[in-house]
Structures are given as structure tokens and as C-alpha cells.
């Protein structure tokens, strides 16, 4: 049995504690006054706030002087985004909040460590199963201490996870013309902490993301790339956590699948 590093074990224990204290007791038991809407289809709960506060305090004690960029902190004060260009922790305290508020899985917790605009370590935790996906730049990708390599689904046609419900009419038409004829289309789980593992563990072959906020994607992108898959901007450029105005991202279980998919969406038929 593989052992976690001291830092990985520390993060796992923090996730477990937050899940057992704040998250799991309220799953399918949220009161109406424990849910608010930050925007259309963008809920926030007491769990988001409790877990972010707990992780912020814990990570600050773990690494004094390293900034913390939390999703809810950014919602309260956009100036927090300025820390993304320096060494910082990045927290999504409850990834998949919409699922959680509806009493559905999946949902998770995500933490990344970044420096100079690039993720250098990442952790994605599933509170239901206890699965911890973790990585450090240059060291490979792991699940619960076991090194993993990205694998395809083996399906023919390949499986593409596309969030069609978030696309406008023109974008959906583009999917119909360039993607649908060549792939089996499935919906996304609305949880990056689950989608990135699906791309490496043989459930999906390729997926697209429109919104690419750092707390959703920094850890998963690094983990997938370290596993031997590929996640990058559609133009091939690498993802940076401090480019928070940018949109668009493609992740795939192999560089070859990434190249083929991006080639199709970049060159639609007449």
C-alpha cells in the first residue's frame, strides 16, 4: 500500500474533517435559509462558507505568509484575485454546489497551490467515497497514494462530455456540426472535482469547459496533465490561474485525443 506524503496526508485530513463536520451532515438536509443565490443558477450555502473559512485558517497556519484565494472570498472582494499572480492557495470549498443543494452527487472539495500564475500542486477530494486525487508538478498523478496513468475509455466512438445546457443556440449548432457526428455525447457532472478524474480513469475521453475559474480548474488541469492526459486552452496554450478573464478549455485522456478533438472544433464543416 502506498503512503501519502506529509503534505498530502495533511490535506486529506483537513478534507475529511471539513466533510464530517460541515458537509455530510447537511447533505440532503439543508434548510431554506442555508442557501442563497449569488447569481442565476449560482447558489452558495452555509457549507461553502464554513468549509472555506476552515480551510483558509488551516492553510494559513500550515504556510504562514502564503495568500489564500477562496471562491467565496473572491465573490465578496474581487481584489482577492490579485493574489493569483503570486504564491497562493486556491480553494473551492464545495465544488458542485448546485448538485449539493439538490441533494445529488457528485460534489467535492478542491485545493491548488500556485506560484507565479501556475499551479504547482493540487488536490481533489470526494467526500462520499474518500477518493483523493493529488499531484505535484513533475511528480505524476496519484489517487489515494497510488500513481495513475490516464487511460481512454476504449469506446468507439469516443465519449465526449459536453455541457450543452450552458451553450447558446450558435454554440449548440457548432456541437451538432463538429462533435455530435463523431462522438458519443454525455453531459458533464457539473463538478470539476469529478470531471477531471473521469477524463483519466476511463469514463470520458474528452470534455470542454467554457468557464475556467482557478478554483474549479487549477488542480484538475495539473493532475490530468501529470497523469499523461492533456488539458489546455483550445489554441494549445497552457492554463494559467491568473488569467481569470479567459474562457475556453479542452481536457482529454490523451494528447492524441485532444489534438483530434481540437482539430474538429477548429475546422467546422461548411
Q: How many helices (H) and strands (E) does the chain have?
A: 8, 14
- Spatial CB neighbours of 241, under 8 Å, sequence gap ≥ 6: 84, 90, 112, 114, 117, 118, 119, 214, 218
Report whether 92 belongs to an annotated binding site: yes
Report whether 242 belongs to an annotated binding site: no
Cα–Cα distance for residue pair 268/256, rounded to 1 Å:
19
Cα–Cα distance for residue pair 234/247, rounded to 1 Å:
10
Report whether 71 belongs to an annotated binding site: yes
Sign of torsion over alpha carbons 141, 142, 143, 146: positive
Surface-to-core class of residue 184, CB atoms within 10 Å of its CB (0-12 exposed, 13-18 middle, 19+ buried): middle
- Spatial CB neighbours of 171, under 8 Å, sequence gap ≥ 6: none
Cα–Cα distance for residue pair 99/103, rounded to 1 Å:
6
| Upstream peptide bond of 106 is cis (omega within 30 degrees of 0) | yes
Report whether 216 belongs to an annotated binding site: yes
Report whether 94 belongs to an annotated binding site: yes
Binding site for Mg(2+), residues? 71, 92, 94-95, 216
Binding site, residues? 71, 92, 94-95, 216
Amino acid at each position: 500500500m502506498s503512503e501519502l506524503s506529509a503534505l498530502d496526508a495533511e490535506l486529506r485530513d483537513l478534507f475529511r474533517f471539513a466533510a464530517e463536520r460541515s458537509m455530510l451532515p447537511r447533505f440532503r438536509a439543508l434548510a431554506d435559509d442555508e442557501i442563497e443565490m449569488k447569481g442565476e443558477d449560482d447558489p452558495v450555502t452555509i457549507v461553502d462558507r464554513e468549509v472555506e473559512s476552515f480551510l483558509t485558517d488551516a492553510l494559513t497556519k500550515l504556510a504562514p505568509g502564503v495568500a489564500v484565494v477562496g471562491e467565496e472570498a473572491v465573490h465578496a472582494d474581487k481584489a482577492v484575485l490579485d493574489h493569483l499572480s503570486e504564491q497562493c492557495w486556491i480553494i473551492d470549498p464545495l465544488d458542485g454546489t448546485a448538485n449539493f443543494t439538490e441533494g445529488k452527487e457528485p460534489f467535492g472539495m478542491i485545493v491548488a497551490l500556485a506560484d507565479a500564475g501556475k499551479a504547482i500542486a493540487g488536490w481533489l477530494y470526494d467526500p462520499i467515497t474518500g477518493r483523493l486525487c493529488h499531484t505535484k508538478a513533475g511528480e505524476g498523478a496519484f489517487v489515494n497514494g497510488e500513481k495513475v496513468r490516464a487511460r481512454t475509455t476504449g469506446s468507439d466512438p469516443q465519449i465526449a462530455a459536453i455541457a450543452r445546457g450552458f451553450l447558446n443556440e450558435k454554440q449548440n449548432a457548432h456541437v451538432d456540426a463538429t462533435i455530435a457526428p463523431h462522438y458519443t455525447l454525455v453531459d458533464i457532472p457539473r463538478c470539476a472535482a469529478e470531471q477531471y478524474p473521469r477524463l483519466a480513469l476511463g469514463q470520458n475521453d474528452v470534455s470542454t469547459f467554457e468557464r475556467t475559474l482557478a478554483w474549479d480548474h487549477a488542480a484538475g488541469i495539473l493532475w490530468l496533465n501529470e497523469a499523461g492526459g492533456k488539458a489546455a486552452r483550445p489554441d494549445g496554450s497552457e492554463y494559467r490561474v491568473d488569467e481569470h478573464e479567459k474562457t475556453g478549455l479542452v481536457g482529454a485522456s490523451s494528447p492524441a485525443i485532444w489534438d483530434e478533438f481540437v482539430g474538429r472544433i477548429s475546422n467546422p464543416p461548411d
